[in-house]
Structure 1
Amino acid sequence: MKKIISIALILALLILSAGCTGPGSTTKGDATGGQTTKSGGQTTTATTTKETSKPVNGDADDTVSAAYGVYIEAKSEMITNLMDGLGENDETAMMVLDLLGVTMLDLTLLPASLFGLGETAVNAGLGFLGASDVRYSENGNQYKVTYKEKEGKAINVEGTYDKGANSLVCSSSTDGKVNLYSEYYETSFGYIGQYYLIGDDDAITVYQISIQGTDGVLGISQSGDYNPLTGRENVDFPKECDAWYAISEQKITGLTADGKEISFTAKGE
């Protein structure tokens, strides 16, 4: 079971990484112009509403994409550490499945990993997934990507980046219906994040996360209104969720959705 879960997580991260390897510069052109490339035999077209010859913020390492990538890497390391710890204990091994949902949301937010890199990178990253009719725009610290996925559904991902706070707030919609809100903030101890998922049947899933090195807390609730983070939350704020799992120096603690408390020390093997 642990190997299957690890493989699933690795595949998700590989897809995300592949989308992030597109070039960070574009050829100058008309503000309403487009560029067409082929990926996997399928033609994709990206357009941008502004002329960009390089990432908006200059150096490729100074883009929102780079900042978001650091957060995603930190989140992945913490979640992997927590999953490994839970997987060591026969009584908690199946709880690892509860953590997979928040990792898969990185795929939904793949366009956010391309914010600030220009139309060529967006086209390459989404073309890898078979997207078509790709459109990309920037307006100051606001970013927007729209495209059609393989089944023809219209996807829209928008984000606002606050460089001073190192925070990114995003929303994702399918065929005009918002189905995901996400956000992260850098803090004095690491990062905090939140994902508010709205299912096809309007079922709500809320993930809240705090990251402190490879330690942290993941909280999960199945109901509730969307309350944006302030950036001032402490490391234990996800423990307000219906269920939560935490790791601190190999000490695993948590509370399941049915009220069962867990506490043990992982071997870290």
Structure 2
Amino acid sequence: MEKILIATDGSQASEKAAKLGLKFAKTFNSKVYGLSIAEVIPVGPELMEIYPKLVEVLERKAFEAVGFIKAEAEKEGISCETFVLTSSDPSEIILSKLEELGISLLMMGRKHTLGRVSRTIIGKASVPVTVVPAEACLTLEKVLLATDGSVYSQRAAFWTVDFCKKLDIALYVVSVAKIDNEVSFAEECVKTVEEKAKNQGVKVETLVVKGEPFEKILEVSSQKEVNLIIMGCKGKTGLEKILIGSVAERVVENSNVPVVLVK
């Protein structure tokens, strides 16, 4: 986790994402970047007179947003570089910064449901994305990995085991079987991750449950009082189509703890 990018709009959720990102950075000795976009939209001739003032207001808000990150980073003694850019397409700017800076992890807040910009970023980002709700607690003691055995889940498993080992925190692994015939495969899924975790000295507990995947993942998260959910994300398919994955999307939108989506 060499470089972390915190994308912020100055909201409470973004500030929570910033604080969690800085917590990760302190543990992994990461370089931190803060980015805020003054999002402008094309206007007609009748509004051109006030357009510069509008841009000025938006840019001021963006500078305040990255200023919060900078101040919090200085308190923790963490190196932080910030950017404020003006664009009509925030997702394009954020995605280009990921590549330009060689980012390892993207942090972003979630106010309510995922909007167009968030969906695009999550779908197209080439690195893990952490989505943090405004109500999230920033304690890091228990992590839940949700796995379905897919290649995305396998990547998430490797990421999670390394993460838990570094932080020396407990890991719960859950796989959800929708029908009886899927139970044995779900058991294989959690067993595979359990072996990886134990080989790395990570304390691990596995669970196989039946039901609707996103509902059961959230249910286990609540029951075990975890502080972070990690799962695989399908990402981009085809030329333009964005596919986050219905289970991942529903977990992100309904979770009251941060969710890391690993590609």
Instruction: Give the TM-score, by structure 1 length.
Output: 0.27
Relative to its length, the structure with more helix (as a share) is: 2
With normalisation by structure 2, the TM-score equals 0.28
